[in-house]
Structure 1
Amino acid sequence: MGDKTHILRAVLLGELKPLGAQAVPSGIDKQAASGSVEVGPEGLAGDHQGDRKNHGGPEKAIHHYPYDHYTWWRSRYPELAPQLEGPGRFGENISTRGLCEADVCIGDVFRLGSAVVQVSQGRQPCWRLNARFAEKTMARRVQESARTGWYYRVLESGRVATGDTLELLERPAEGWSLQRILHLLYRDTLNREALSGLAELPELADSWRVLARRRLDRAAVEDWTGRLETPQQA
């Protein structure tokens, strides 16, 4: 499993603020929390989401984005470098080093500070990243790079602070790394054997299992365009 323990370089919270040309309420602008933060079934106390239908909730309680990816983004897109000087730019709640999509499997159970959390799904980027970075292709870049980060559901409430540890406790779905699942979603899109396995993965969020079943039933890939583009472009 590699390193089982990682230090939290930041715990981040977002207040609702106007985002983009249409001033849509959003909590994507995450700022480092001071002190210990309560972790509950809906996520971190003091964190907010403007669109509760598509963001937040028990299956998207906490978003983790590897700080390792920031180096790649700065190198690949130097024009974005001034916006990537610290964690929180991708709307993440948790920032670490040394743990990326290839190292994490769906269903992985971690102790996060004194709470216990479980990886539920990857992130599906949307137009809010375009508005966040003032770059109309940013969401598509995140999707195509497979540097999306992931979400946790909360199994046991507790508290967490910057400097605490994230410790892997259990891996019930060995072989189902997020890297593999993202490749299936966006590259090897109609691999029926893999989709069948994904659809039956109990640790995976229901919405992603439904997505896998729908692809199997329709033998077609859903259109992501509306999710990736800003409202005025959609």
Structure 2
Amino acid sequence: MNKPKIINFAIGMSKEYQWNEITEYSAINKINVTSMNIRKSGIIGNEVANVEFHGGDDRAVCLYPFEHYRTWEKEFHSSLPIPAFGENITATGMKEKDVHIGDIYQIGDVIIQVTQGRIPCSTISKFNGIDHFLNRVYSTGLTGYFFRVLNEGTITIESEFKLLEKHPKGISVLFANQTLFHDQKNQQAVRKILEVKELADVWRKKLMNLL
């Protein structure tokens, strides 16, 4: 696993869209910034439109691995401008298979903790104009993920991004994604994920229901 490196920061407000002749609101179309003021409740100037999939203390910051952009661009033969997934942080060295639920990272003075994988929604397909994008993100588990904020502060694009603490349970975001999305009858896997007390409440409820 390579050392994390920040590629981009982005924040955005909710806007109205006409998708398939239906009016919807989304904050996926973010603007790139060089600094972010991060609070436990979220990022200043960053709005959440769909509270079912975004926002709250357990989903204060969203990250998407930069390496996946090349994968998707090659598959879809299309350029994807960052942040195509509406993520706040785009970074290298942070793939879902290498990052664990409960891992703690520091960016500048801000300390954040991984809480859950991102549950993809149809906005990804609509915003990028690729009909089967959602299905591919869902099937691969390359969703990105969320953090809770343990220590608030302001970070800049030049801030160092470093791992402070690897969670001892070793449950990767990818393993959790694959279990919730594709292997729900695997009670052993479900129980292993539930052993991570730092897991986001919304995921804990979903997994408890599977038992």
Q: TM-score normalized by structure 1?
A: 0.84
How many Å separate the matches in 2 of 1:33 and 1:174? 35
1:202 match? 197
How many Å separate the matches in 2 of 1:158 and 1:57? 17
Selected match of 1:92 from 84, 87, 101 = 87
Selected match of 1:17 from 15, 18, 37 = 15
How many Å separate the matches in 2 of 1:113 and 1:139? 33
Selected match of 1:124 from 112, 119, 125 = 119
Is contact 1:90-1:129 (8 Å) kept? yes
1:190 match? 185
How many Å separate the matches in 2 of 1:60 and 1:154? 9
1:225 match? none
Moved over 3 A (4+): none
Aligned-residue RMSD, C-alpha: 1.5
1:51 match? 50
Is contact 1:26-1:49 (8 Å) kept? yes
Q: CA deviation at 1:113?
A: 2.4
SS in 1 for 2:16: strand
Is contact 2:53-2:119 (8 Å) kept? no
Q: CA deviation at 1:145?
A: 1.6
How many Å separate the matches in 2 of 1:179 and 1:118? 16
Q: CA deviation at 1:53?
A: 4.0
SS in 1 for 2:206: helix
Query: Measured at CA, do residues 148 and 54 of structure 1 come closer, stay the same or move farther in structure 2, by a change above 3 Å?
Result: closer
Selected match of 1:107 from 102, 110, 117 = 102
Q: Which runs of 5+ in 1 are unaligned?
A: 217-234
- 1:160-199 to structure 2, matched below 5 A, reads 160-199=155-194
Is contact 2:53-2:118 (8 Å) kept? no
Per-residue deviation, residues 168-220 of structure 1 (Å, max 9, x unmatched)? 1012244201121122122332111111122232010111111111111xxxx
SS in 2 for 1:8: strand
2:41 match? 42
Per-residue deviation, residues 36-68 of structure 1 (Å, max 9, x unmatched)? 321101221111111234321111111100110
Q: Which runs of 5+ in 2 are unaligned?
A: none
Is contact 2:125-2:134 (8 Å) kept? yes
> Are residues 1:154 and 2:153 paired?
no
SS in 2 for 1:143: helix
Is contact 2:5-2:93 (8 Å) kept? no
Selected match of 1:145 from 140, 148, 165 = 140
Task: Look up the equivalent residue of 1:39 and give its one-letter code.
Answer: I
Q: CA deviation at 1:134?
A: 2.3
How many Å separate the matches in 2 of 1:173 and 1:25? 39
Is contact 1:110-1:168 (8 Å) kept? yes
SS in 1 for 2:154: strand
Is contact 2:169-2:196 (8 Å) kept? no
How many aligned residue pairs are there? 209
2:6 match? 8
Is contact 1:122-1:178 (8 Å) kept? yes
